[in-house]
Amino acid sequence: MQQPAQHQMMGYDRTSAMFSPDGRLLQVEYAKKTVKQGTSALGIVCKDGVLLVADKRITEKLIITSSVEKIFQVDEHIGATASGILSDGRMLIERAQIVAQQHRITFDEPVDVISLVKDICDMKQFYTQVGGARPFGVSLLFAGITNGKPELYMTDPTGIFFAYKATAMGEAETELKEILEKQYRDNMPIEDALKLAVRALKKVLGKEFDIERIDGAYITTKEKRFTKINKDKLTRIS
């Protein structure tokens, strides 16, 4: 008697365009679980800018660490990082780069962070309702400066987004958020936020922590320019 029900559930399980009887899109839920298995990343809004720090999770000794990129420049004033299926994230970030370039050419001004986030989320949402396609298995953190104000947004596979003062995603999301909730301050400068982010990753990674695994970038409200954090600075902080 149970076998037909199991086959019926498998039908809902295999398509992203069909709701299950209890109102769930199972493929979308699986995509969100994929993000939970991805590498950890943090974003922190500071009094003088916004910061992104991420774990590269380099597991092979012969990999050239500089070839592994986890934080990407989207525009002069916007950066992004991904957690989940990084090939999905790379494609979405490349789309964001094109949207930012098109906005500059069309309007002769930098794109607002929120406009860019909405465009990417529209694309994510579209793939939750198309037969024959799967949802994007990636969450993205977008950090940037709009009208002199630092902003941080997180998008998930459903196409929803939220603005944050500080947040984390990936395999250690829960532990990292607990640390941020306890230690984050609204008036902390980028330097202090970077120390907090590295300490947090060091705590959750434990014996696996290696400064070679850490990627970071920031955008200041003064310069409004995406800047990668060099290894020497990360080493001093750790």
- Which sequence spans correspond to the domains of the chain? 40-237
pTM: 0.91
d(CA 53, CA 42): 5
pLDDT above 50 for 198: yes
Mean pLDDT of 115-130: 95
d(CA 208, CA 139): 23
| 40-237 is a CATH 3.60.20.10 domain | yes
Considering the chain, what percentage of its residues have pLDDT values greater than 90?
74
For residue 21, the tally of other CB atoms under 10 A from its CB is 8
pLDDT for position 7: 42
d(CA 126, CA 58): 32
pLDDT above 50 for 79: yes
Cα 215 from chain centre: 13
d(CA 232, CA 214): 12
pLDDT for position 109: 95
pLDDT above 80 for 17: no
pLDDT for position 11: 65
Task: Give per-residue pLDDT as tens, 20-68.
Answer: 888 888 888 899 999 999 999 999 999 999 999 999 988 788 888 888 8
Mean pLDDT of 163-188: 96
